[in-house]
Amino acid sequence: MKEIKLSDHFTYSKLLLFAMPTVGMILISITYDVVDGYFVSNFIGKTAFSAVNIVYPFQLVLSMVGYMFGSGGSALIALELGEGKEQTAKLYFTSIVKAAAAIGVVLAIIGIIFLRPIATLIGATPEILVYGLPYGRTLFLFLPIMILGYTFQSILITAEKPRLGLYISIGNLFSNLCFDFLFVVVFKWGMVGAAAATGIGACLNGLIPLIYFARPNSSPLHFVKGKAELRPLIDACTNGASEMVNDMATALIFVFYNFQLLRLIGEDGVAAYGVTVFVEGIFASFFYGLQMQATSIVGYHYGAKNKNELRSLLKKGLTLNITFGIFMFFIAQVSAPLISKIYVGYDANLYALSVHALRVYAFAFLFQGFNEYSSAFFTGLNNGLVSGFLAFSRTFVIQTTCIFVLPLFIGTEGLWLAQATTEVIAATIATVFLIKNKKEYTVMGNE
């Protein structure tokens, strides 16, 4: 099959074909956490499973710097490629990767130092800390290479090598699965073993692309010598801030959910939410895949001033996301009992709570893809202001408000409905901005 280029005209089928490796890569990346959750819950216990859900958001907040450099940098690099400035694109790429690695080391040190106070602030009990601290501290040792891996996820799409990312992720999955079994089940290293299994697998995501781009290759990108560029770093951070805000907010929302669940339901509530989030990650991998590819494709055609292609990308991208959102909603309704049984079937009350939580939460899938793609589309247009506003308002403002306000009126049911309510409101706001900023992708360049 002919390799798909950023400069191509994208039909529905070509969008899907180009997105599939990225979807697979993200799906497999999310599966790492699912695998960890399974082994921790079934072989260490539900308190340990709750500990993972308490520590994970803090680690996620710090690692989102990689997504910022990756998504913002991809749009910037794609813009330069679209304008025919290949050497500039390579220099920007080199500067962005170097900065991501350096910041990763600093953030790893911060994570190890502040893990205990942050976990305590979130609401971790002494019993949860017994499991959470060794898990988190071990995981932070691998944070620099994790951040590089997150950065390369988006850039591999711009480099027209999404399949390489998929192959790396497959290797990562098998590595994580094998080491989880070996460290947790066979050697019985507990939480340290679970974290080490994840970290070892993450090394593949960061190191293999690092080696690939360090030498001449068949992609339009590789590392080059030259003075470090500050401007592309600022532009990448500004433009990628929306994706970082969105993902960082996801982690903080995790914290808010855990806080409310511990207060209203207790440890079972955190465990049930953990099941829901793991499943949401798997189902939403398609949304994230289209979101990541949109940044690169839209950035390229914006740089090339192909206004017809930009309109087509918006229409087709939103249609695909809405269609798959409906499909995922129905799949979640049917599969909720089976999924809950895999994770928490050993506890009847927790099982029932997990089934109900997942079925209610699934209403969010109907609009989630629409919102993700809208924000990514503006990132591709290098309009970080609008993209950042959509991400910030959706998560930090709307969802935070729903988490704390809805339970006041409808109790714990409000927590399970908070995500769906957020997506409906955010979709309305995104539609307004797509209409208001229509000139950015309809009145530009030549036909």
Q: Whole-model pTM above 0.75?
A: no
Q: Flag whether pLDDT at 1 surpasses 50.
A: no
In this prediction, residue 109 carries a pLDDT of 94
1 vs 427 pLDDT, higher one: 427
DSSP state of 398: I
Choice among 73-82, 137-146, 204-213, 326-335 with the minimum mean pLDDT:
73-82
- Average pLDDT rounded to a whole number, residues 71-75: 78
Do residues 231 and 97 make contact, with C-beta atoms less than 8 angstroms apart?
no
Residue 103 makes CB contacts below 8 A (sequence gap 6+) with: 65, 147
**Lowest pLDDT segment from 23-27, 367-371, 427-431:** 23-27
Q: Is 103 exposed, middle or buried (0-12, 13-18, 19+ CB in 10 A)?
A: middle
| Mean per-residue pLDDT, 80-99 | 89
Is residue 47 pLDDT above 80, yes or no? yes
**Whether the predicted pLDDT of 245 surpasses 70:** no
Higher pLDDT, 138 or 447: 138
Element (H, E) at 119: helix 86-122
pLDDT score recorded for residue 425: 97
pLDDT score, position 402: 96
Q: Does residue 372 surpass a pLDDT of 80?
A: yes
Q: Tens digit of pLDDT for each residue in 389-407? A: 888 888 889 999 999 999 9
Residue 362, pLDDT score? 94
CA distance 43 to 147: 29
CB 344 within 8 A of CB 272: yes
State which amino acid sits at residue 319. Answer: T
Lowest mean pLDDT among 153-167, 228-242, 315-329: 228-242
Task: Summarize the confidence of residues 183-211 as an average pLDDT.
Answer: 90
Q: Which residue has the higher pLDDT, 345 or 144?
A: 144
Pick from 4-8, 32-36, 330-334, 425-429: least confident: 32-36
What integer best gives the mean pLDDT of the chain? 85
Residue 410 pLDDT exceeds 70: yes
> What pLDDT shows up at residue 162?
82
Is pLDDT at 444 greater than 90 in this prediction?
no
What's the rounded mean pLDDT across residues 254-265?
A: 85
Number of H helices and E strands in the chain, helices first, is: 17, 0
